[in-house]
Chains A and B, each alone.
Chain A
């Protein structure tokens, strides 16, 4: 394990959320790297200092009383009680509602303009680099924290429907066992400020994460990106979807995988 990997996992380690293999690896790294060991102690100290008994708020008596009388009156007013609740929910009159609504729209319009201007001011040549970094981080986390997948199945007909209802798009799912890249499962992940599909494949001992989400970009051929922390990345777009394959597998075999998956 190297420092960038350790940095992603120190908190999970402090929270006891790493799997046994990850624990061994990170502890070995701490023995070799005083800086990461110190970072871990800092997290531990921070955790210890956040004492729930000092920081928690207790429910005021006033709230308890309000609730109890509210509940009792609910019971006494029998049928139609739900409707009564619904109207209580909107405590404002329709007219005030309208102004509130108009105000809200103006506000959000202003916020959108501001966000737009800010994003222009900061035109980020590194947006792509940040995305690549995020992809690699997601890959590393998926390996170390024992949550490679949410649905473990080599059956594409199990994995594909699993995504329905969890995503607003339907990612292509294929099993490539015949080509030596068996499908292991699928997972929801969060990249580029949106929920994305992650498919997990194996090649011998190597894991491949394939991230998929919709895009407006046209089709683009599969191209290797500079590797990050020893992980290889290949990106392409096809049929309104964008694809990122990431793995510690060598670039040549990763490209084979990508071709087998059907990238142009």
Chain B
């Protein structure tokens, strides 16, 4: 049997989700070059582990591998991004009363949104990507990112407050829209 058939079935499983894999890697790594490395390594691992794939949710399975590959890569290649920022976990949900009018005027600016997401700590960023771009449920995200459900909720809440704050503060009255 064929390795050939195995490969075919692997490609049919994984290739439809290659965009999702690259997208997650790209948002986590922050640039195309590193994202390609991470996505490629993840796909090779996926091929190696394909025997343990039980045919549930192929996209979630592949993204779990991408995520793990990214963190391994991160430890090898970069200093910890936010030793201190993780302390944010301790803070209660910030009470940001953002000015709705200012905020709403910024929301049409995709580049500003992109920048605001890029600036999030990686632990928050990944939850935002999985929720808003991949549409996973809290429960699926909890399994994928290997954190308790309550942590998914609180990280998503904090991430959105940070996004709103950044978007609102980026606005300079009088500047061209």
Cα distance, A45 to B6, chains bound together (Å): 45
Partner of A82, one of B43, B48, B87, B104: B48
* B10 partner residues in chain A, CB cutoff 8 A: 71
Q: Check B22 against A12 for contact (C-beta < 8 Å).
A: no
Q: Check A193 against B113 for contact (C-beta < 8 Å).
A: no
Q: A15-B131, A54-B110, A55-B113 are in contact. Are A118 and B84 (CB under 8 A)?
A: yes
Q: Check A85 against B48 for contact (C-beta < 8 Å).
A: yes
Report the minimum CB–CB distance from A51 to chain B (whole Å).
Answer: 8
Q: A7-B95, A74-B47 are in contact. Are A193 and B100 (CB under 8 A)?
A: no
Cα distance, A120 to B98, chains bound together (Å): 32
**Interface SS majority for chain B:** helix
* B137 partner residues in chain A, CB cutoff 8 A: 17
* B128 partner residues in chain A, CB cutoff 8 A: 50
By a beta-carbon cutoff of 8 Å, the part of chain B in contact with chain A is 3-4, 6-7, 10-11, 15, 18-19, 21-23, 26-27, 32, 35-36, 39-41, 43-44, 47-48, 76, 79-80, 83-84, 86-87, 89-93, 95, 97-98, 100, 103-104, 107-108, 110, 113-114, 117, 128, 131-133, 135, 137-139, 147-151, 153-154, 156-157, 160, 163-164, 167
Within 8 A of B (CB), among A64-88: 64, 66-67, 70-72, 74-75, 78, 82, 85, 88
Within 8 A of B (CB), among A245-263: none
Q: Does A59 contact B (CB under 8 A)?
A: yes
Q: A17-B137, A71-B47 are in contact. Are A108 and B107 (CB under 8 A)?
A: no
By a beta-carbon cutoff of 8 Å, the part of chain A in contact with chain B is 7-8, 10-12, 15, 17, 35, 38-39, 41-43, 45-52, 54-60, 62-64, 66-67, 70-72, 74-75, 78, 82, 85, 88-89, 100, 107-108, 111, 114-115, 118, 127, 130-131, 133-134, 137-138, 141-142, 145, 147, 187-190, 192-193, 195
* B93 partner residues in chain A, CB cutoff 8 A: 7-8, 137
* B22 partner residues in chain A, CB cutoff 8 A: 57-60, 63
A57 closest partner in B (C-beta) = B26
Report the minimum CB–CB distance from B130 to chain A (whole Å).
Answer: 11
3 smallest beta-carbon distances between A and B, as pairs: A49-B107, A59-B22, A57-B26
Q: Check A187 against B26 for contact (C-beta < 8 Å).
A: no
* B104 partner residues in chain A, CB cutoff 8 A: 42, 45
* B11 partner residues in chain A, CB cutoff 8 A: 71
Cα distance, A147 to B4, chains bound together (Å): 44
Q: Check B163 against A46 for contact (C-beta < 8 Å).
A: yes
Cα distance, A38 to B100, chains bound together (Å): 8
* B98 partner residues in chain A, CB cutoff 8 A: 42
B79 closest partner in A (C-beta) = A107
Q: Check A189 against B40 for contact (C-beta < 8 Å).
A: no
